[in-house]
A and B are shown apart, each in its own frame.
Chain A
Amino acid sequence: MTDRELDPYVEWIAREAKRAVAIDPMAVERVMARIRLEPLPRTHSPRWRWILQPRALPISPLVGAALAAGLVGIGILLGHFQIDRGGQSSTGGPTAFAVQQPPLAHDTLIKFVLVAPHAATVSVVGDFNNWDAQATPMTRTPTGGTWSVAIPLRAGRHVYAFVVNGANGTTQWVADPTAPLAPEDGLGAPNSVVLVGGSAS
């Protein structure tokens, strides 16, 4: 649709909404006052850049056995970490889980796994990567439709979802069917919650 096709009233709304808004002159200073309380932003060391590169990752024997036995979608307990089902049916849809790996430095390596055999590409998005669908692509396992990625996360609560791109060009945001859902965001896109260093709520 081009501007020329807009209804005159809709065009008026768009034109009026484009007008600059009046800004409190102290607003930018308030932002900077808050920023000055922060430590300098961290830059990734070469080690972290290596970790963050997408690559095929082996799934532990326990997880492999669970997949083979058709237990995907049932709450998985590994080590000290547990994600309960969010009450959603996984029939016909992608199935996923996040697994806490042994701690690395100050962060914890979290593996996200999604079973989506018909997807062309999959990525994980969340507050940890600013919801950037290009930032954290997942890698398909050689044997089938399981996608995974491991990323270091700080301790605390993280909200995330999967972005599943189909071969036909469709894109879907998918909540993790094995994890608790985040509170509704009011926009119809469900997200999931993982607590690093504790249980999800």
Chain B
Amino acid sequence: MSDDAADVQRVLSGDVDAYAKLVDRYYDRCARFAIRMLGNRDDAEDALQSTFLRAYRALGRYQERDRFSAWLYRILVNQCRSIAARRSHRERVFVREEALLLNAPDKTPAWSGEDEELVQRVLNELDPLLREAFLLKYVEELSYEEMAALTGAGVSALKMRVKRACDKLRERWERIRDD
């Protein structure tokens, strides 16, 4: 039995604190996807809170034959979609993160705020479907089959989204270079 499956069993047996191990194990990776996908930390934390809450409520339906991380990611991708949908009704404003970074633990000392802001800004310019596909492929490094299981989209559609995302990013780079 994997560590994940063992922790799930402990939670189902009544040991709620065992869920903290699962949250600890996956929070950072999920946070990276949510922040890159949604572009700001407030929305990302909303997505993460609701993801881990929904996963907890649905834990009785988790099947050990599935990887817990893949199951959790399916929920996370959907929560990011839901929050993006709610946010689409209000103006999108890029929020500088320096203040939050100053209050956060020094886990990324080599990464300048300028680079982070530029990367996030460029990602934000992508259509959400393209951004999602790009992040799953090249940041989370999932296979297309894994991406298909997460998103419900076909492999060929996902390959097209990734290619279009790369084309858009390249166009963006050429605009920067020419300016």
User: Is A9 a contact of B129 with CB atoms below 8 Å?
Assistant: no
Q: Is the interface of A mostly helix, strand, loop or mixed?
A: loop
Assembled-state Cα–Cα distance A20/B109 (Å): 10
Within 8 A of B (CB), among A96-134: 125, 127, 129-134
Residue of A nearest to B75 (CB): A130
Check: A147 CB closer than 8 A to any chain B CB. no
Assembled-state Cα–Cα distance A28/B166 (Å): 33
Q: Is the interface of B mostly helix, strand, loop or mixed?
A: helix
Which residues of A lie under 8 Å from residue B115 when comparing CB positions? 16
Check: A4 CB closer than 8 A to any chain B CB. no
Assembled-state Cα–Cα distance A133/B28 (Å): 26
User: Is B12 a contact of A7 with CB atoms below 8 Å?
Assistant: no
**Which of A62-70, A79-87, A178-186 is found at the contact surface with chain B?**
A178-186
Number of interface residues of B (CB under 8 A): 75
Within 8 A of A (CB), among B98-134: 100-101, 103-108, 111, 115-116, 119, 122-123, 128-129, 132, 134
Number of inter-chain CB pairs below 8 Å? 177
Which residues of A lie under 8 Å from residue B142 when comparing CB positions? none
Assembled-state Cα–Cα distance A169/B154 (Å): 8
Number of interface residues of A (CB under 8 A): 53
Check: A43 CB closer than 8 A to any chain B CB. yes
Which residues of A lie under 8 Å from residue B28 when comparing CB positions? 20-21, 23
Assembled-state Cα–Cα distance A26/B103 (Å): 11
User: Is A13 a contact of B123 with CB atoms below 8 Å?
Assistant: yes
Which residues of B lie under 8 Å from residue A9 when comparing CB positions? 169-170, 173
User: Is A7 a contact of B74 with CB atoms below 8 Å?
Assistant: no
What 6 additional pairs, Cβ within 8 angstroms, besides A28-B27, A171-B157? A9-B173, A17-B36, A21-B107, A23-B104, A131-B74, A134-B149
Interface string of A10-34 (1 = CB under 8 A from B): 1001101111111111011011101
User: Is A10 a contact of B166 with CB atoms below 8 Å?
Assistant: yes
Residue in contact with B71 in the complex, picked from A35, A36, A130, CB distance below 8 Å: A130
Residue of B nearest to A17 (CB): B139
Residue in contact with A171 in the complex, picked from B71, B81, B122, B154, CB distance below 8 Å: B154
User: Is A28 a contact of B104 with CB atoms below 8 Å?
Assistant: no
Which residues of B lie under 8 Å from residue A188 when comparing CB positions? 129
**Nearest CB of B to A47, in Å:** 14
Assembled-state Cα–Cα distance A125/B152 (Å): 9
User: Is A35 a contact of B170 with CB atoms below 8 Å?
Assistant: no
Check: B16 CB closer than 8 A to any chain A CB. yes
Which residues of B lie under 8 Å from residue A14 when comparing CB positions? 134, 138-139
